Structure formats: C-alpha cells, structure tokens
Amino acid sequence: MAASTSVLDCQDEEKMLTKPSAIRDYPPGIGRTTSTGRVTPKVTASSGDYLQKAGARRFPARKVSAIRDYPALCGPNFLSRSKGVCEDKLMDGHLGGGAEEMKRKFNCLAQGDGSKAVMTPRKSLNHSGMMLVKKTEGNASSGGMDGKCSDVYNVNVPLLRRGNLSSDHSYSRNTVREIMRWFQAVCRKLLQEEEAKFKGQGKIRRRIDLEAAKILKKEGKYVNAGRLIFGSVPGVEIGDEFDYRVELNLVSLHRNLQAGIDYGMHNGVLLAASIVASGGYDDELDNSGVLIYSGHGGNVMHSKKKPEDQKLERGNLALKNSSKEKNPVRVTRGAFFGDESRKRYVYDGLYEVETYWQERGPHGKMVFKFQLQRIPNQPELPWIELKNSKKFTLRKGLCVIDISHGKEGLPIRAVNTIDDERPPPFEYITRMIYPDWLHPTPAKGCNCTDRCSDPTRCSCAVKNGGIPFNHTGCIVEVKPLVYECGPSCKCPPDCYNRVSQRGIKFPLEVYKTDKRGWGVRSLRSIPSGSFVCEYIGELLEDKEAEQRTGHDEYLFDIGNNLISNGILSDGVFMPEVSRDGGGFTIDAARYGNLGRFFNHSCAPNMYAQNVLYDHGDRKIPHIMLFAAENISPLKELTYDYNYSKDQIFDSDGNIKKKDCYCGSLGCTGRMY
C-alpha cells in the first residue's frame, strides 16, 4: 500500500483523496537523471539519435499523481555489462552525492570499540549492481577451491540507495546488506550450475557456500576481514538471518567456520567475542533470555577419537574470563526455527557470561557449562515473538480473517493493534484485468515433457539465456525480463520455470503501521530470491490513467518501460517505444490484490521484476515482486516506488513535497 497519511472510509467505496500530481522518471544516476539534475547521458554516435527520440516520447508531461516506477536496476532500468568504465566513476555513480566522503567511509568502518576496520572497495561494481566474479574449477568434493579461474560470472543484484548516509552505522548497514545480496546471488548462480549438471537427478556435492565466500573474498567484499570485534558488529542487526556459517565470517560476526567460540586478546586478557549456539552440543535454546552453553573440546562431537575431559583452555578459558570481565558476547543461534525445514543462523544480540561450572556429560567425561544472560533492552528475535503469539487462540488486533475472501491459497489476515480502523474497501482479484479491446499475443510454448531441466533444449529457457530460477524456486539474479513457461507449454505444472504464476506461497498479513497506513509482513522467513507477490490491478492506457483522480498512490507505470531485445553499442539495454507513443499503467485502487498494500522504502528488501508467461506482449509484462535478500519474520516487506522528486506540482505550478517515513537508514526524507 502506498504511504498515505489518510485512510479511505470503509463505508464509502467511492470516497477517494486526491494527491498532488507527479511525473515519473529514472532514479538518480540512472537513465536521463543524475544526482545533479536532468541531463542527457553520454552515448555513442550510433545510439544518440535513438536515445533522444526515445527520451522525448517516453516522458510526456502528465497530470497524474505520484505514479510509482521501476527502481534502479529493475525492468527497463536494468543496465547490461558495460566495459571500459573506470572504478572511480562506478563508485561515484553508485554512491551518488558525497561520493568522495562515502569512498572514505567505505575504507574505514567504525567498530564497537571505536577502532577502525579496513574494508576493501568494490572492485568490479558497475551501475547495474553487477559484480564480475571468477568461476573457479577444481575438486568438487573439496569445494572446488584448488583450480584456476577460467570464466567470469555476471551477477546482477538490486543495490540500495545511498541517500543520506550521515553516520558510519547507516553506511555500514547498507554495505553489509549489499555484500550479503552478492553472496546469496553468487550461491544461487553456483547452485544453478550444479543443478544443470545433474538435471535435477543428482545430489549437490559442491560446497557452494565456500566457493561463493572465496569469490567474494578475492573481490574484496569481506567486511572487517580477519579482525576480531568485541561487541556489536557495524552493519549487523539482531534478527539478521544467514543460510551458511561462512556468512558469519563474511561480515565478521563469527570468524570460525567450525569452532563455536570466537575469542582473542583484549587489553591483555583472553576473552570471548562470539559464540554460535547451533545445538551441536546439548545447548538449551530456550526463549527466556538465558542460554546454557557447552564448552568445546574433549572429542565429544562427531569424532572417532576417544572422548576425554574438556580442558580449561582456548575458548573455554576465554568464556571463563568473560564471566569475570563481563564483556558483551555476541550470540548467533543456529537451528530449525518454527516449523521450517531449513536450518538457519540468526543473530540474537549481546549476552554476558554469568557463571560456569563442570558436570559429567553424556560420554561420562567432564564438560564445561556456561550460563549466559541476554543483555536487557535489545530487540526480541522475531521467531520468539511469533512463538509467543501462537499461544493465543486469537491473534491480537485481528480485524479481518482473510482480505482475499478465500481467493488466495493462504488466508491473508489484517491486524491492527494501533486503533479500530479496518483496511480500505476494494475488490480482491488474483488476475490482471485487461481492457476489452486488448488481446495480448499468445506466447509460443516449449515442447518439454519434463520439468525443463535442460536449458539448451527448452525454447523458453533459450529466451532467458537459461532457466532463470533454481530448483528451489528462487530467481538467480535480476533480469530485464523473465519468460516463464505458460499455458502453451507442454511441461508439467511443477516445471522449474513456473514460479511467480503459482501465486503467493508465504503466509503474509496486512498490518497497521505507526506512520504509514497499512503495510505487509511475513509470518515466516523469506529466502533471498523468493517470489513474494504480483502487483495486480486494472491495466489502463496512460491517457485513461491521467483522468483518474484519487487513485494516484495505487498506480504502477509499466507502459513506457518496455524491454528491447537490442543492445546499443555501449552495452546498455534501452526501452523500446510503442508506435503511438503511449503506454500502460496498472491501477490497483478499486481492483487489486495484496500488492496494493506494500509500502515504499528508501532501502527496500524487495524489487520489481518483469515477467511474461501467459502472453508474449512485452509492452504489458506482469509486475512480480521478489525478495532482494533474506527477510526475517515480521519484517515489513517494501520496495522502492521510485517517485520523482521536485517533479510534482500543484494547480498553480508550484513544486509539492511529501515526506518519507520509511525509517530506513539513509532515508532521503522525501517520497517526492
């Protein structure tokens, strides 16, 4: 749902509030707009005339209010792999205003103890958020890390706005999020490569997590590489989720890949800095804020050696010393949270070691036990909040049992713990409504009889340059346009190339926010690359959308954002222009689905992706929202509306402004 300071009257479906008008445009540094204003980009001679004509026809003056558009790197704003661009320009383009200051901060992140931690600048970043990473060939059983670099992966990830990153904390937070997006994208790329070898029939043997980590390390993407940090790690927040242990090392949350205790010297004393409570030992992972942690050593874990008494040395000694010094110790929990089948690592915050003792373990040998107490006034883990809420038969603040009225596979509840308001009335639909005169061209389907596991034989995969999804249903990377298999294809419904058309698969709920009306959150973790929801509504021509008032913040502009198959000589994808110069807009004000409730954020966790499956008309793609990163439960789901600033005028021609209340680090402070 658009960020709105007023809510529609539930008793009057026709009562709509008119907002100031806006003109959509590219975000700063992309397309025709830069951080200093509207300018024409440098293009080659062969593309200059095309760009000028396209730009003139593509952005006609419009009176429609606040039409959201694709953010940077998505849809038509996707930029392909440009060559010969120097790193400083890439950094400047990515960081936007204050690039020199941001580059300085990029090399120097503040730690909890006030010291400085060095982080290598991005080596291969271009405007599209694409990282060139080396493909390594080697021994598969050992993770493939002993071979030569023989190829290059082109990994496109949605980057975050740099905005007003006035503090080291806000800058490091966005940096950590982007690095994790790169890691997850590289993992998906490696996984897809492995899946292609076995065509879905074999077990993945490679340690793709270690391969991805080595790739990022070589590219200089580690945060605070090799440094031991005591206390909070810059850029890492409570509730952050990780799929692999190596990710903890990637952001310096926990340096050891196996040992559960990370320790080192601090002011001349051996102290513990971090522990991972993964249940390998008999740890008590309760939700009381007290953790009983077993010491390490003694050959009590998956070892062929004979068990022996644990010794008060190394990590055990460090935890013992921490009980005296009372220094904060980071705790990361690794477990199967809730009813989910995958094990994850979740950062739980800072603890203090209260006491320790010895007792006889299951092998009859003496083991050390350490009792840690969670430091007060820290945010609670989302999965603990969910667990506590399930104790009640009726969800607190529940005001609508299912806003979809049974039309979705999962009920979508509405929860309001702030006031007595209910969601605004609208007709819930699960399919786009097209004008009667519009007859999209049917898509030519593939002839596959399996699940389209061979990307060289599937005609749909060929159009994508390969299957765009992993076998887990996660999109591998950002693309200008994705072709899914559709009704004309002969492949089965569980085909690997049928993902977003299957609808909502995560338990989502609408809830009332403090300042931004209604928003959406998930009751489960959402893995990076997962499909979340389609933005559905009425498809309108631009000229009809201009005549509708009061619908402004439910409009998504797609008609002037068309994908071209051609690539200009400078390597940049450009939008094609429709013959009549007009375009299309999706209006979700009166007819829509859950997509109308997603709020804007300057640092979103989702992005919009063009998808075609039921027709072949590239002028009217489906707008699918995918997770840009791992999203924890109860975290608000957001994407970038990409409103144009200083391009919204009142009836007298004066610029109007609207504040942004997304609350993200580096928020620009304005929606338009």
Angstrom CA distances, 375 to 290, 291, 352, stand at: 10, 12, 7
List of E strands, 181-249: 241-242
Same domain flag for 554 and 624: yes
Q: Look at residues 378, 411, 440 and tell me which one is the last residue of a structural domain.
A: 378
**What's the number of domains the chain is made of?**
2
Of the residues 378, 411, 432, the one at which a domain ends: 378
Residue 339 within any structural domain of the chain: yes
Identify whether 202 is part of a domain. Answer: no
Query: For residue range 196-217, what is the model confidence (pLDDT) as tens digits?
Result: 887 656 566 689 999 999 999 8
Q: Are residues 418 and 269 in the same domain?
A: no
Instruction: Please tell me the predicted confidence (pLDDT) of residue 550.
Output: 65
Give a yes or no: residue 96 inside a domain. no
Length of the chain: 672
Q: In the prediction, which pLDDT does 386 show?
A: 79
- Do both 579 and 478 map to the same domain? yes
Looking at the predicted structure, is the pLDDT value of residue 28 above 50? no
Range of the domain at 573: 400-639
Give me the helix-helix angle, 168-198 and 208-218, nearest 10°: 130
Lowest mean pLDDT among 170-179, 251-260, 347-356: 170-179
Give the pLDDT of residue 131.
47
| Alpha carbon distance 333, 239 (integer Å) | 10
The tokens describing 383, both together, are 């999965």
Measured at the CA of 604, the angle between CA 602 and CA 609, to 5 degrees, comes to 120
Give me the pLDDT at residue 241, please: 94
Do the domain assignments include residue 99? no
37 vs 611: which has the higher pLDDT:
611
Task: Please check whether residues 405 and 324 belong to one and the same domain.
Answer: no
How crowded is residue 149: how many other Cβ atoms within 10 Å of its Cβ?
A: 12
Please tell me the distance from the alpha carbon of residue 259 to that of residue 274, in angstroms, as a whole number.
Answer: 10
Give the pLDDT band (50/70/90) at residue 300: low
Distances (CA, A) of 365 to 260, 298, 309, 361, 467: 19, 8, 5, 5, 53
Q: What is the CATH number of the domain that holds 353?
A: 2.30.280.10
Please tell me the least confidently modeled range out of 19-33, 354-368, 538-552: 19-33
Residue 45 lies in a domain: no
Structural domain includes residue 462: yes
Output the pTM of the full model.
0.78
Any domain includes 369: yes
363 and 410 both lie in a single domain: no
Shared domain for 365 and 434, answered yes or no, is no
Task: Please tell me whether residues 354 and 458 are part of one structural domain.
Answer: no
> What is the C-alpha to C-alpha distance for residues 337 and 385, in angstroms, rounded to an integer?
12
pLDDT-derived band at 672 (thresholds 50, 70, 90) equals confident
pLDDT in tens, 458-515: 999 999 989 999 999 999 999 999 999 999 999 999 999 999 999 999 999 999 999 8
Q: 416 and 373 in one domain?
A: no
User: Same domain, yes or no, for 607 and 467?
Assistant: yes
Q: Which of 378, 412, 437 delimits the end of a domain? A: 378
* 635-641-647 Cα angle (round to 5): 145
Indicate which CATH number applies to the domain containing 573. Answer: 2.170.270.10
Backbone angles phi, psi at 91, to 5 degrees: -60, -45
Identify the pLDDT of residue 497: 96
User: Is the residue at 148 inside a domain?
Assistant: no
Nearest-angstrom CA–CA distance, 422 and 419: 9
**Is 620 found in the same domain as 489?**
yes
460 and 596 part of one domain: yes
Q: Supply 443's token pair.
A: 């898509």
DSSP state of 279: S
Q: Do 368 and 407 share a domain, yes or no?
A: no
